[in-house]
Structure 1
Amino acid sequence: MPSEETRDRTRPGPRPSGPSGWFAIPAPLARLFKKFPLLTYPPNELPARSPDIRDVATLYVFISDSDALKGLPSYNPSCLKWQTFLKFARVEFRILPSNNHASPSGALPFLLPPSQPNDVKSQTPIPSNKLERYALAHGASKIPDVPNPRLEAYESLLDHRIRNAWLYSLYISPANSALLSQLYIAPVSRSAHVRTAILYQLRRAAEAEIVRSTRRPAIDPAVLYSEASEAFRALETVLGSGPWFFDSSEPGLFDASIFAYTHLVLDERLAWEDRRLADILKECPGLIEHRDRILHDCWE
């Protein structure tokens, strides 16, 4: 049995007033932090072209400077889809050129709502997957909700068969190399080496997406265009004789999605050399009228 003296030596003394154990900061670090206190850095800034005060919303898309000033359609299907839908909803907005690297989400388009000084919430970018909700909440025109049990199948025609043919036509077809360079490569750099590298990256990315979508080991252009032709004809049947899809009284998101491809395929401002997609689309007069109708209504 330990003696009283031994017990006094082993009895714990008074606890130190400062932090101890796992939460204690070693003395050298504590002295260092006193000289160099930790800082919390602010979030990444918005694009340099973003004004501090915006009277209207700003949609950032792939577009040239001159076309942005005129409010013309974007040359990118994803951007044009949402640009068109915002017009359907009669959301007041303007467009500015941008690229994926400048986007907070890493992809275009994105939107900055109208802002006021010191309004932090209005400085939060809205990515494309939230643009429908924004348009429905802030648009002057109500977009009709037209549910369709086969909508997912129709969207698949766009997202796979038509998109695959689009990717091949613009990014891979040698005949359209000049157009690809004009839209996505020349605006980035004047260096021949940089342009060559960008061209390689764009084509490899397009090839990878097509292979992943088709689940085939190799790309067969004839098959891609054949499947796109079947998809366009199927959508022509779905449209029927009405002005908008699903017999809606007003155009909706699906109409904007279709227009984003049909307009760009037929756009005479784009110097298409490989015109196989345009030739396919010319066999669908209903889709052409649908495209012309939206072009007239939204870009008079």
Structure 2
Amino acid sequence: MSPDTPNATTNQKPSRTSGWLAIPAPLARLFKRFPLLTYPPNELPARSPSARDVATLYVFISDRDALNGLPSFNPNCLKWQTFLKMAGVDFRIIPSTNHASPTGALPFLLPPSSPKPIPSSQLEQYAAENGTAKTPDVPTPKLEAYEALLDDRIRNAWLYALYLSRANTALLSRLYITPISTSPIVRTTTLYHLRSAAEADILRSLGSPVVSARALYEGARDAFEALSAILGDDDWFFGTMQPGLFDAKVFSYTHLLLDERLVWEDWTLTEIVMEFPNLVAHRDRILESCW
């Protein structure tokens, strides 16, 4: 019987052979007295400003860096933070977490004087409607081909470097674990869950039963080499006159791998990026223009 199918024999005596899914009579009576409730979506974080004259972007970032308007340490958050700057959107940033997000993920944006959050999937449209600068359009087939390099090979290598490489445990802890609790038990448990989730994500993407650091880094090198080739001698990807969303997406990885404020102990990915001077120069141009 489907969970959505009403029971037509409510008044009949339950059968002894109704199966292991049958609810015992005491629990059934309890549910009738205290029916299950569907709770509304999470409220906005308590630190949300009650009156806003500009949009608020919630990202992974430290309190100090947020006050100074610095880049997020999370690639997806940094991508949208950078793109909104490119599009001329006026916004402030506030530290947050996935658990505090009404959408269940970061980043999300709260428009001025509006209680309805905008998820990252709608930020490009928001920028087009509210920004002061027009970002370039890139043909979708070409864009999708190169986005796959970032979403698969580079992202997988990033996940391994930050979450699974034991050499970078101190960096992972400083960014995602230490800020949430002072309890050693909570920190240890959080570290375990973060690493387990990252490993599962990588394996799901690769369709492989094991994670090979060497294969992941080689895949990332091939991806960065392809990105370097498509960029060539141009300032921006695909020969556009202004940087766009794809430029912001590449920057979100290259900047974090080259940022000296992030103390990487496993330098493998950083060294790979440095093999391609035009990607380093691309990162420097966006850093100078946006920050």
Normalised by the length of structure 1, the TM-score is 0.83
The equivalences for 1:73-84 within 5 A come to 73-84=71-82
**Distance between the aligned counterparts of 1:292 and 1:42, measured in 2?**
44
1:143 corresponding residue in structure 2: 135
The equivalences for 1:241-280 within 5 A come to 241-280=233-272
2:87 corresponding residue in structure 1: 89
Contact 1:172 1:203 survives alignment (8 Å): yes
1:48 corresponding residue in structure 2: 46
1:53-82 Cα distance to aligned partner (Å, 9 max, x none): 101000000000000000000000000000
Residue among 163, 166, 172 paired with 2:158: 166
Considering only CA atoms, is the larger Rg found in Structure 1 or Structure 2?
1
In structure 1, what residue type is equivalent to 2:182? R
The equivalences for 1:150-299 within 5 A come to 150-299=142-291
Fraction of identical pairs, as percent? 67
In structure 2, what residue type is equivalent to 1:72? L
Contact 1:148 1:246 survives alignment (8 Å): no
Name the CA shift for 1:97/1:217 in 2 (closer, same or farther; >3 Å).
same
**Distance between the aligned counterparts of 2:140 and 2:204, measured in 1?**
27
In structure 2, what residue type is equivalent to 1:270? L
1:72 corresponding residue in structure 2: 70
Gap runs ≥5 in structure 1 = 1-39, 116-121
1:105 corresponding residue in structure 2: 103
1:101-138 Cα distance to aligned partner (Å, 9 max, x none): 001111100000011xxxxxx11000010101001110
**Distance between the aligned counterparts of 2:41 and 2:216, measured in 1?**
43
Q: What is the count of residue pairs matched by the alignment?
A: 255
Gap runs ≥5 in structure 2 = 1-37
**Distance between the aligned counterparts of 1:98 and 1:50, measured in 2?**
10
What is the SS of the residue equivalent to 1:45? coil
1:124 corresponding residue in structure 2: 116
Note the aligned Cα RMSD (angstroms): 1.4
What is the SS of the residue equivalent to 1:149? helix
Normalised by the length of structure 2, the TM-score is 0.86
In structure 2, what residue type is equivalent to 1:74? S
**Distance between the aligned counterparts of 1:44 and 1:212, measured in 2?**
29
**Distance between the aligned counterparts of 1:90 and 1:176, measured in 2?**
35
Name the CA shift for 1:274/1:53 in 2 (closer, same or farther; >3 Å).
same
In structure 2, what residue type is equivalent to 1:215? G
